[in-house]
Chain A
Amino acid sequence: MDFYDILFWILSVMAVGCALGVVLSRNPIHSVIFLILTFFAISGHYLIMNAQFLAIVNIIVYAGAIMVLFLYILMLMNLNADAEPQKGLLVQIAGILSGGTLFLVLLAATKSAHNEEINKVSTNVGLITNLGKLLFTKYVLPFEISSVLFLTAMIGAIVIGKKEPQLKNGEEHIA
């Protein structure tokens, strides 16, 4: 049991516990906080697996930008904790059962995979120098296409969120 193993177990317990907190907590704000903690745990995993750039990007993009967007929408809607109606007990049990069954099926499918020990050597493959070189040589086309995708998503969000023009008299309201 060396430092790597201890770090792995701490981060794993943190990730799974906070993921359960996302699903189980009544208050949506608490769910967001738990999800941010899960992302921090996953970033810690990236760090011990030589993916330093991804760890930072995970914190900046996910915990920093995406979750703030979620919080912003939640605050905008001012949802109360008890406002959310519960699904029926039968549906909840069915959901947990099917999720657990999926877990067991995937576990059984991957049981025969090689069980290797992790090499704990630190390399610099995940540093920005390496990834940047790869991103601008081998993967330059997907990189540029993803920038167009971002532009499309931005325009799409604006178009969807725009206020609709007031309906004139006599016009059918489609709802």
Chain B
Amino acid sequence: MPVTSSNYLILSLLLFSIGIMGTLIRRNAIIIFMCIELMLNAVNLLLVHFSHLNGDVDADSQIFVFFIMVVAAAEVAVGLAIIAMMYRKVHSVDVNILNRLKH
């Protein structure tokens, strides 16, 4: 059975859904952050696939993937700094402790 475009679609959707499930069922802030990275990568994979499906006429979507990577790297730098500060304050990376923000 040859590989078709729907195979790639299902693969990306699976990776994205696994990322969503991870953010919902885990309490460790770092794991949640890693699941967000997983979701970004699923979207990147789908973008590259659409570029390939279009016959590789131009590399615009690959440039978009490149910019998503740039934004993800900046996000990781700031996010991990916030998590490190949170750990310094409350000595835990449990996100449930942060629900005091709503009071």
A binding-site residues for B, Cβ under 8 Å: 1-2, 4-5, 8-9, 12, 15-16, 19-20, 22-23, 28, 31-32, 35, 38-39, 42, 45-46, 49-51, 53-54, 57-58, 61-62, 65-66, 69-70, 73-74, 76-77, 79, 84-87, 91-92, 94-96, 98-100, 102-103, 106-107, 110, 113-119, 123, 125-126, 130-131, 134-135, 138-139, 142, 146, 149-150, 152-154, 156-158, 160-161, 175
Contact = CB atoms under 8 A, between A and B. Distances in A.
Contacts of B45: 42, 45-46
Contacts of A126: 56, 59, 62
B85 to A, nearest CB: 6
Nearest to B55: A119
7 contacts: A54-B66, A57-B69, A58-B44, A73-B80, A85-B96, A158-B81, A160-B82
Given A42-B45, A57-B69, A85 B15 contact: no
Interface in B1-41: 1-11, 13-22, 24-28, 30-31, 33-35, 37-38, 41
Contacts of B19: 19
A134 B60 CA distance: 8
Contacts of B77: 69, 153-154, 156-157
Interface residues of B, number: 73
Contact of A86 (B24, B27, B52, B55): B27
A100 B17 contact: yes
Interface of B: 1-11, 13-22, 24-28, 30-31, 33-35, 37-38, 41, 44-45, 48-49, 51-53, 55-60, 62-63, 65-67, 69-78, 80-85, 87, 89, 93-94, 96
A9 B59 CA distance: 25
B93 to A, nearest CB: 7
A95 B24 contact: yes
A85 B53 CA distance: 44
Contacts of B74: 149-150, 152-153
